[in-house]
Structure 1
Amino acid sequence: MKKLLNTVYVTTEGAALHKDGETLVAEVDGAEKTRVPLHMLASVVAFGPVQVTPALIATCAERGVTLVLMARNGRFQARIEGPVSGNVLLRREQYRRADTPEEIVRSIALGKVSNQRAVIRRALRDYGDEMAPAACAALEAACDRMALILRRLQFSDSTVDEMRGSEGEAATLYFAVFDHLIRSPDAELRWSARSRRPPLDSMNALLSFLYTLLTHDCRSACEAVGLDPAVGFLHRDRPGRPSLALDLMEEFRAPLADRLALSLVNRRQLRAADFRKMDGGAVLLTDDARRTVLTAWQERKREERQHPFLQEKAPFGLVPYLQAQLLARHLRGDIDAYPPWFWS
């Protein structure tokens, strides 16, 4: 089993990163805060204005350590990496299959919808007795409708556009009942609808931040196995968009990012005061809240689950790498189909 690769998150504005021998050193106001051996790192993610020395950038590129720069709100800004490695034959097959992606799209959509439904069913099992009857009825109705969508995806001879439509319908159902999964007493943390670029309320700000972290991990997973993260199957190609990374993360959005967001809010680790509204209407996490989320994110990635296809236990953080490997094996013809990751 491959070791889980490590990521350093730098959230303190004005922090300075530099190289000291074979070590990354982080300083704030001239005082050293931490140091990490470079051989232990897969990537460094910096939020807001953080200084990085040219020597550290060059060493990270040489060692295969990716440096990612994010805005204060977690929006992706830049990615610095060295020469990209990859199997040219694998990528050529990826490009060919992108022209006829029906079966891969079907697998991804099945994994995403099934995992969204599993999150709702878990909430009904854990808290159904405490919910209002109307909330339980709405969640049950969404589960029933999503079960029909799963059968349609699995058994009907749908086109790619029809499968994308089914995936979109399931997402609409899921987010329509998402507020019933929130148990926080803070009115500011209630859910109304999905908003992004910018997020317009606290829950959307939290989800967008977690989705950004998940996208980074999925992109790294694609590159680690030699796939091109820009050429996807479910997501259409668009300049500057990591379509394959977005494909890969669809299976993990609900069980990894959404459930973590709900846990942080429902356990009152995040409250209304942990978010701030900007003049333009965007809502952002405070610096302390970002640190809370990043700590919880790293802890969640260490939790182990049984992989349904490999029948081995693996930490959450390694699952994107395993799925990228399985996709690469399918493209090479080693396995007949891409097996989605089902959470239970």
Structure 2
Amino acid sequence: MQKLLNSLFVMAPESYLSLEGENVIASIGEKVAGCFPLYSFESILYFGQKGVSPSLMGACAARGINLSFFSPSGEFLAGIQGKSGANRALREKLYEISSDETASLAVAKGFVSGKIYNTRWIIERAAREYPERVDAVKLKIAGAFLKRTYQMLPEAKSFDALRKMEAEADSCYYGVLDEVILQNKEDFFFSAVPSDPPKDPLGAVLSFLYALMLQECTHALEGVGLDPDAGLLHRDRCGDVSLAMDLMEEFRGVICDRLAISTINVKGLNAGHFERQEDGSVFLNKNGRKAILNAWQAKKKETLRHPYLQEKITWGMLPNVQALLLARYIRGELDAYPPFLWK
């Protein structure tokens, strides 16, 4: 259990939540694992299996405290909204921003800046850690270009300008990503921005991981009361979970790409984990999906210090934390949306 941003995260699957007086009690079996004043929370995010007492659910509804239920793997299941209508007001504000190009652009720059900052970190770290096994000069040149692009993002005056910078950064990053693959280079290589459907094994891994991350971001946004369909960066993607697509941009490189590359580099994947279709597309087979899902769940349990909050969290909590920060910005509690910048 952890308190972040006036929200209580209950991550232990075996935990049970109840109300005692004005306190939230978290129990595991007969043992009290935590006690927190209910008034100190704006929301409770419950990832357990044992449940929440009716008295606590009623108290949350009466006090306007959002209570969101997730599966242990992070799937949003249901939510209880208080009588205050806070979620409705939050969504109305989101729709207002989404319909305003200037307001949307300000937030969209945050999503793109997080993406570019984190991809630059990936290739610069590889140049430092494996100078004898990679083309360090090539990676440093790419890192310098990404740094300049990141610094120029505030100057983007339109979505066209922002998308041009993003596309150039993507081309630069994916153009050198092949250097970071240190094992099985005959089977795993990178030559272009990922396509749909994927045409090579690495593209198949990334496609699968991006789908998992999009699902995580969708559930995270639903859990804090935001509409995952109301995009700010992907404003023209009608019918898609466009706000979830926005949010996941910060995590593509630092979670998905890193996990794919690290799994390959420890020989957790091989050519036998893939199948090729008649149209030339390549997908993970059952054993390949199992290998990636095992690595995914292990990654979600690893910890980091959130660079903005300076609090220790798990990687699995990251989409939920960023969704909370986005909701705070939309409510007017923050001057700007703070993207996840991995350091």
Q: Same fold (TM over 0.5)?
A: yes
Displacement, 1:295?
Answer: 0.7
Displacement, 1:39?
Answer: 4.1
Counterpart Cα distance in 1 of 2:80 and 2:197: 31
* Ranges in structure 1 where 5+ consecutive residues have no aligned partner: 7-36, 41-62, 69-78
Alignment equivalent of 1:105, drawn from 108, 120, 141: 108
Corresponding residue of 1:199: 198
Q: Match for 2:150: what amino acid? A: L
Superposed CA RMSD in Å reads: 2.6
Counterpart Cα distance in 1 of 2:289 and 2:160: 37
Alignment equivalent of 2:132, drawn from 129, 132, 151: 129
**Could you tell me whether the CA contact under 8 Å between 1:186 and 1:272 is conserved in 2?**
no
Alignment of 1:274-289 (within 5 A): 274-289=273-288
Q: Report whether the alignment pairs 1:249 with 2:248.
A: yes
Alignment of 1:120-269 (within 5 A): 120-131=123-134, 135-154=135-154, 156=155, 158-269=157-268
**Could you tell me whether the CA contact under 8 Å between 2:170 and 2:193 is conserved in 1?**
no
Helix, strand or coil: the match of 2:182?
coil
Change (3 A) 1:290 1:84: farther
Displacement, 1:196?
Answer: 2.9
Corresponding residue of 2:10: 3
Helix, strand or coil: the match of 1:189?
coil
Displacement, 1:129?
Answer: 2.5
Counterpart Cα distance in 2 of 1:328 and 1:125: 37
Superposed CA deviations along residues 98-118 of structure 1, whole A, max 9, x for unmatched, are 123121111111111000000
> Could you tell me the percent identity over the aligned residues?
38
Displacement, 1:65?
Answer: 5.9
**Could you tell me whether the CA contact under 8 Å between 1:276 and 1:286 is conserved in 2?**
yes
**Could you tell me whether the CA contact under 8 Å between 1:101 and 1:160 is conserved in 2?**
no
Change (3 A) 1:93 1:38: same
Helix, strand or coil: the match of 1:256?
helix
Helix, strand or coil: the match of 2:132?
helix
Higher relative CO (Cα under 8 Å, sequence separation at least 6) belongs to 1
Counterpart Cα distance in 2 of 1:169 and 1:84: 43
Corresponding residue of 1:44: none
Counterpart Cα distance in 2 of 1:214 and 1:80: 13
Helix, strand or coil: the match of 2:187?
helix
Superposed CA deviations along residues 149-204 of structure 1, whole A, max 9, x for unmatched, are 011113x2522221122112111110011111111234121112234331111000
Helix, strand or coil: the match of 1:129?
coil
Q: TM-score, normalised on structure 2?
A: 0.76
Superposed CA deviations along residues 266-303 of structure 1, whole A, max 9, x for unmatched, are 11110122111122211111211111110110110111
Corresponding residue of 1:94: 94
Q: TM-score, normalised on structure 1?
A: 0.76
Q: Match for 1:232: what amino acid? A: G
* Ranges in structure 2 where 5+ consecutive residues have no aligned partner: 3-8, 14-47, 52-67
